[in-house]
Amino acid sequence: MTATDDGGLWVYAERRGSSFTPVSLEILGKAKELSRQLSVEVTAVTVGNDGGAASELQRYGPDHVLELVHPLLAVHDGKAYAKALGTAIQKAHPSTLLLGATRNGQDLAGRLAVRLRTGLTAHVTSLELDGGRQLVGWVPGFGGGIEAGITCPEKRPQMVTVRPGVFLAPPEGSPTGDVKTVKVDLSEEDVGSRRVSFEPKGSSIDLTRADVIVVGGRGTGGNFGRIEELARRLGGEVGATRVATDAGWVDRDRMIGQTGVITRPKLVLVLGVSGAVQFTVGIDGAGTVVAVNRDPEAPIFEHADLGIVGDLGPVVESLLRSLGGA
Amino acid sequence: MAQRSENPAPVRFDDEAWEALAATTNANLCFQCGTCTAACPLAENTPLRVRQLVREAQFGETDAFLWKCMTCAECNASCPRGVDIVGLVRTLRGREWRTRNVPKGLPTLLWGMYSDGNTFHLPPKQRASWMQDVKVPGKGSTLLFVGCAASYDPRAQRIARSVAALLNLAGVEYQVMGTEEVCCGEAARSVGHDGLFRDLQQRNTEAFRKRGVERVIAISPHSFDALKAGQSANGGPEVVHYTQAIEQLLDSGKLTKGSEKGTVTYHDPCYLGRHNGVYEPPRRLLELSGLKVVEMGNSRAQALCCGGGGGRMWMETPPAERPGTRRVQEAAGTGAELLATACPYCISVFESERGSEAIPVTDVAELIAGRVKA
């Protein structure tokens, strides 16, 4: 397809259980904003074995919802999903397709770009128009040292996968748009994988997406009960330093730092942590850092927006009291 | 812990890989005596077997546990054939970069070194934050090379401030590069990325030339080793470790002994000791403070690695495999009141892996600054 095609702006709404991945709603909001500048319509497209989830999408302001359904599409399969979505795109000629950069979204995007012979900008952290009808996807390069603005000038659709959490999902409104359900033409040979069984990973968590993290270190002495309570009241997750992880106080998937997870929460409470750089590199992207430490000379205070010098126990109790509730 | 397969697949001799290896290493000298495995501190509690790694290399194969090596050089020191096994490990790792078959986290490390000039992915403009209120003469042909750890790590910044204070006390003229300093590249060399290592060396060489530097004092033994290798290859300035520079000040009478009482044990950093044979200067400096030095069983050329070399600072090590924990226990076992060393990596590993051992960990420079007189 050439750069002149314009069948509007499509957003791939990736289903997760009976709902959608959060990033699907985030990019739907962004698509709405871009569509106003482009004067085109937004279509949210879903793929699955049935319709029915469309009413949730309608609350996020699309002009159309397109459901591509087939019994073989019950579970994400890159090959089958790419055929279903690719065929629909070749019919409707959207000029733009946004996908969330989830595992499945990335899998699908790569396959689609090849199938449609177009370009793909992967993992963008911001999106804008170049003044005309061309989308510029900004991608951090060299580990954040530079940003590259990538365009797709010759081919359509211009495709982008968007990193989860960079755009805000719009507030829910009254339902908009029409819903169209299309039965996809598919056979067994189009499916590359088969689900044998499904077992959730259980306690595994992803701190990179947490908005609030309460981190405990050596200074907690292993007393994580109240820290968990604090995290719960703040609607956040518990994180830990390497020392706290080694001591077995907290699972290793919650370890933050150089050999652990690099996080970007909006708020991080750092309790009883000295502030070695191997830890602080894991919270450099945080919005607000609040540190509590007994030692006023602790290096963690150099990284904190707000520092409290004092014993952890009383400080945590008084924080819990001021948060109120049970 | 991962285990070796009981029945490994048959290996075919890869002539091409072997010739490439023979051209860049001296692994052909190995006659498989196994002394390296016996000397390796990881043989005890990891599946890495150095002899096997070398044998596999001779067949053009890559050992499954190649990345566990800390490049501590105990094997090099014990090899009766003079095989540079550390060099071999770096070369084999370099081969893995071509197929991107490298541990998680290492590409991020290298991008940080490439784009930000440091190993922490922190902004270059923060590189001088170690200085705080330290006054640097900012003249003369001697340059204090601070290195990434002592520039950015608040714990290690104290080492840099102590070294600067000692040089100031003795009235030495020297300069620092501040925000213009870039990483020495040692971590890139350790993880096998020779290209980035040479690129950073080149940037430093040019900076040294522009500033008229004739002598470089390095704070980290890793910078010391890497800059020494790079500068002697490029005909650049003389490179010394700070313990050597301060020892000279002691010998020339510019610093005199303090009157501290107590005992200290000294951990030899691999890149200062085994890699460069600097054993005495740090010990003489500790005595300068008035403290008595108590030796650990494994000291000098037999010193046990902390576990932070060879890029291991950027790869997680399961607690059961960490030599750092054993080393702090060994230090505490001497009964000394303090554990001193002269490397920011050793310090951060010991601080993190000390477990329940209470012995304070300190750098030689921190220990003697404030305890010696001009």
| Same domain flag for B125 and B61 | no
A105 pLDDT higher than 50: yes
Do B110 and B243 lie in a common domain? yes
Q: Does one domain contain both B233 and B124?
A: yes
Asked if the C-beta of B114 comes within 8 angstroms of chain A's C-beta atoms, the answer is yes
Question: Cβ of B154 and A299 within 8 Å?
Answer: yes
Distance CA A98, CA A41 (A): 13
> Does A172 lie in the same domain as A65?
yes
Q: Give residue A30's identity as a one-letter amino acid code.
A: K
Asked if B170 and B92 sit in the same domain, the reply is no
Distance of CA A93 to the CA centre of its chain: 27
Alpha carbons B105 and B110: distance in angstroms, whole number: 9
Taking CB atoms and an 8 Å limit, are B120 and A281 in contact across chains?
yes
Helices B50-58 & B85-98 angle (0-180, nearest 10): 60
Q: Can you tell me the distance from the alpha carbon of B273 to that of B217, in angstroms, rounded to the nearest whole number?
A: 16
Q: A298 lies in a domain?
A: yes
Task: Choose the weakest-confidence range: A196-205, B130-139, B257-266.
Answer: A196-205
Mapping DSSP to helix (H, G, I), strand (E, B) and coil, where does residue B267 land?
coil
Does any domain span residue B374? no
Angle between helix B50-58 and B15-24 (nearest 10): 120
CA–CA min distance A116, chain B (Å): 29
Q: Are residues A223 and A134 in the same domain?
A: no
Q: Whole-model pTM above 0.80?
A: no
Query: Does residue B6 sit within a domain?
Result: no
- The partner residue sitting opposite A145, judged by closest CB among B116, B314, B316, is B116
| CB-based contacts of A159, cutoff 8 Å, min separation 6 | A96, A97, A98, A99, A109, A112, A113, A116, A118, A119, A120, A121, A152
**pLDDT, position B208:** 95
Q: Domain for residue B373, yes or no?
A: no
Predicted local confidence at residue B211, as pLDDT: 96
pLDDT tens-digit series, residues A219-249: 999 999 999 999 999 999 999 999 999 888 9
Task: Identify the bridge partners of residue B144 per DSSP, sorted by sequence position.
Answer: B217
- Facing residue for A277 by CB, picked from B152, B353, B355: B152
* Angstrom distance (rounded) from CA A239 to CA B238: 46
User: Are A173 and A240 found together in one domain?
Assistant: no
Res B37 pLDDT > 60: yes
Same-domain status, B208 and B265: no
Q: Is position B1 within any domain? A: no
User: What percent of chain B clears pLDDT 70, i.e. is strictly above it?
Assistant: 97
The partner residue sitting opposite B120, judged by closest CB among A259, A277, A299, is: A277
Q: Per-residue b/e over B295-334, b at no fewer than 16 CB within 10 Å? A: ebebbeebbbbbbbbbbbbbbbbeeebbbbbbbbebbbeb
Question: For B266, which DSSP code?
Answer: E
What is the CATH classification number for the domain harbouring A162?
3.40.50.620
Select the residue of B112, B314, B319 nearest A246 (Cβ to Cβ): B319
List, as one string, the DSSP characters of B80-119: TT---HHHHHHHHHHHHHHTT---TTHHHHHHHHHHHSST
Is A25 in the same domain as A57? yes
The CA distance from B71 to B112, in Å, is 22
- pLDDT confidence band for B1 (50 / 70 / 90): very low
Contact B121 A242 (CB under 8 A): no
Domain shared by B53 and B146, yes or no: no
User: What gap in Å lies between CA A234 and CA A267, rounded to an integer?
Assistant: 10
Across all residues in chain B, what is the average pLDDT?
A: 92
For residue A136, what are its two tokens? Answer: 């510029």
In this predicted model, which residue has the larger pLDDT, B21 or A217? A217
Choice between A209 and B283, residue whose per-residue pLDDT is larger: B283
pLDDT score, position A220: 94
Kindly state whether residues B262 and B127 are assigned to the same domain. Answer: no
Task: Classify residue A225: in a domain, yes or no.
Answer: yes
pLDDT of residue A142: 55
Residue B290: band (very low, low, confident or very high) from pLDDT cuts 50, 70, 90: confident
Those residues with Cβ within 8 angstroms of residue A64's Cβ, 6 or more apart along the chain or in another chain: A41, A42, A43, A44, A177, A178, A179, A180
The rounded distance, in Å, linking the Cα atoms of A240 and A249 is: 9
Instruction: For strands A146-150 and A135-141, give the pairing.
Output: antiparallel
Domain boundary among B56, B75, B98: B98
pLDDT band at A265 (very low <50, low <70, confident <90, very high): very high
Residues A32, A11: Cα–Cα separation, whole Å = 10
| Number of domains making up chain A | 2
3-state secondary structure string across B111-173? HHHHHHCCCCCCCHHHHHHHCCCCCCCCCCCEEEECHHHHHHCHHHHHHHHHHHHHHHHCCCC
Q: For testing the chain A interface, which of B146, B155, B361, B366 should be mutated: the one with the most A CBs within 10 Å?
A: B155
Q: How far apart are CA A191 and CA A178, in angstroms?
A: 29
Partners of B355 on chain A (C-beta within 8 Å) are 246
A13 and A117 housed in the same domain: yes
Q: Would you say residue B313 lies in a domain?
A: yes
Question: Does residue A117 sit within a domain?
Answer: yes
Same domain, B155 and B49: no
- Cβ contact, residue pair A146, B115, below 8 Å: yes
In the predicted structure, residue A1 carries a pLDDT above the cut 50:
no
Is residue A190 predicted with pLDDT exceeding 70? yes
| Domain boundary residue, one of B66, B98, B130 | B98
CB contact under 8 A, A281 and B155: no
> A309 pairs with which residues across the strands?
A293
- Give the number of A-B residue pairs with CB atoms closer than 8 Å: 63
Q: Which pLDDT does position A170 carry in this prediction?
A: 87
In-domain check, residue A3: no
Contact B286, B340 (CB under 8 A): yes
For residues A183 and A84, membership in a common domain is answered with: yes
What is the pLDDT averaged over residues A277-288? 92
Locate the chain A residue with the closest alpha carbon to B312: A259
Q: Which domain holds residue B62?
A: 15-98
Neighbours of A206 (CB within 10 A): 11
| Whether residue A143 sits in one domain with residue A112 | yes
Region of B307 (left: φ > 0; alpha: ψ -120 to 50; beta: rest) is left
Dist CA A151 CA A137 (whole Å)? 7
C-beta atoms of B115 and A145 within 8 A: yes
* C-alpha–C-alpha distance, residues A68 and B114, integer Å: 45
Domain match, A174 and A219 both:
no
Q: Do B153 and A144 touch (CB under 8 A)?
A: no
Inter-chain residue contact A284 with B122, CB threshold 8 Å: yes
Give the whole-angstrom CA distance, residue B363 versus residue B113. Answer: 25
pLDDT of the residue at A243: 92
pLDDT tens digits, residue range A152-166? 999 999 999 998 878
Q: Which of residues 315-334 of B touch A (CB under 8 A)?
A: 315-316, 319
The residue from A133, A165, A190 where one domain ends is A190
Contact status of B116 with chain A (Cβ, < 8 Å): yes
In a domain, B276, yes or no: yes
Q: Quick check: B149 contacting A, CB < 8 Å? A: yes
Distance from CA of A316 to the nearest CA of B (A): 24
Tokens 């290492």 label which residue? B106
- For residue A302, the chain B residues in CB contact (below 8 A) are 154
**Which residues on B lie below 8 Å from A274 (Cβ)?**
155, 351
Q: Is A109 a residue whose pLDDT tops 80? A: yes
| CA B272/CA B239 separation, integer angstroms | 12
Q: Is residue A19 part of a domain?
A: yes
CATH of the domain at A213: 3.40.50.1220
- Residues A275, A180 share a domain: no
Distances (CA, A) of A157 to A3, A86, A122, A129, B9: 8, 11, 14, 15, 48
Q: For strand A19-20 and strand A15-16, is the pairing parallel, antiparallel, or unpaired? A: antiparallel
Confirm whether A198 is domain-assigned. no
Question: Are A20 and A62 members of one domain?
Answer: yes
Note whether B111 contacts A276, CB cutoff 8 Å: no
User: Does residue B159 register a pLDDT over 90?
Assistant: yes
- The reply to whether B238 falls in a domain is yes
d(CA B82, nearest CA chain A) in Å:
34
Determine the Cα angle at B190 with ends B104 and B150, to 5°: 90
> A44 and A179, same structural domain?
yes
Kindly state whether residue B3 falls inside one of the protein's structural domains. no
Task: Select from A135, A160, A190 the last residue of a domain.
Answer: A190
> Which residues of chain A have a Cβ shorter than 8 Å from any chain B Cβ?
142-146, 242-243, 246, 258-260, 274-278, 281, 284, 299, 302
Answer yes or no: do B239 and B117 share one domain.
yes
Task: Quickly state the pLDDT bin for A2 (edges 50, 70, 90).
Answer: very low
In a domain, A4, yes or no: no
Q: Which of B9, B6, B24, B16 is nearest to B59 (CA)?
A: B16
Smallest CA–CA distance from B122 into chain A, residue = A281
* Sheet of strand B142-145, all strands in order from the earlier edge strand to the far edge: B142-145, B215-218, B238-241
Burial class (CB in 10 A: 0-12, 13-18, 19+), A195: exposed
A135-141 vs A237-240, strand pairing mode:
unpaired
Residues B55, B71, single domain; the answer is yes
Q: Is residue A134 part of a domain?
A: yes
Residues in chain B with CB shorter than 8 Å from the CB of A299 are: 154-155
Mean pLDDT of chain A: 90
Axis crossing angle, helix B242-251 with helix B154-169, rounded to the nearest 10: 20
Same domain, B118 and B228: yes
The CATH number linked to B176 is 3.40.50.1860
Which CATH number characterizes residue B314's domain?
Answer: 3.40.50
> Do A175 and A231 share a domain, yes or no?
no
Inter-residue long-range contacts of B81-84, CB under 8 Å, 24+ positions, other chains counted: B81/B29, B81/B30, B81/B31, B81/B33, B82/B26, B82/B29, B83/B25, B83/B26, B83/B27, B83/B29, B83/B30, B83/B36, B83/B54, B84/B25, B84/B26
Contacts with A164 (C-beta within 8 Å, 6 or more apart), sequence order: A21, A22, A23, A26, A100, A101, A102, A209
CB burial of A73-105 (b: ≥16 within 10 Å; e: otherwise) equals: bebbbbebbbbbbbbbbeebebbbbbbbbbebb
In contact, B125 and B131? CB cutoff 8 Å = no
User: In a mutagenesis test of the B interface, which of A245, A258, A295 is the best target, namely the one with the most B β-carbons within 10 Å?
Assistant: A258
CATH number at residue B23: 1.10.1060.10
Residue B281 pLDDT > 50, yes or no?
Answer: yes
Please report the pLDDT score of residue B17 as a whole number: 81
Residue at which a domain ends, from B229, B249, B269? B249
Q: What is the mean pLDDT of residues A7-13?
A: 94
Nearest CA distance, A249 vs chain B (angstrom): 13
The answer to whether residue B125 neighbours chain A at the CB level (below 8 Å) is no
B314 touches chain A (CB under 8 A): yes
Residue B124: which pLDDT band, with cuts at 50, 70 and 90? very high
Q: Which of B120, B129, B182, B321 should one mutate to test binding to chain A, selecting the residue with the greatest count of A CBs within 10 A?
A: B120
- Counted domains in chain B: 3
Is the model more confident about A52 or about A245? A245
Same domain, B89 and B119: no
Q: Does B123 touch chain A (CB under 8 A)?
A: no
Confidence of residue A204 (pLDDT cuts 50, 70, 90): low
pLDDT at B68 over 60: yes
Which of B120, B125, B317, B352 to mutate to test binding with chain A, by most A CBs within 10 Å of its CB?
B352
Residue ranges making up the domain that contains A296:
207-323
pLDDT at residue B364 greater than cutoff 70: yes
* A45 contacts A88 by C-beta, under 8 angstroms: yes
CB-CB under 8 Å, B153 with A276: yes
Pairwise CB contact (< 8 Å): A143 & B121 = yes
Query: In angstroms, what separates the C-alpha of A235 from chain B's closest C-alpha?
Result: 29
* CB atoms closer than 10 angstroms to residue A3: 15
CB contact under 8 A, B122 and A143: no
* Residue in chain A nearest B124 by alpha carbon: A145
Which residues on B lie below 8 Å from A139 (Cβ)?
Answer: none
B202 three-class SS: helix
Q: Which long-range contacts (CB under 8 A, 24 or more apart) does A283-290 make?
A: A283/A213, A283/A215, A283/A256, A284/B121, A284/B122, A286/A213
pLDDT recorded at residue A202 = 60
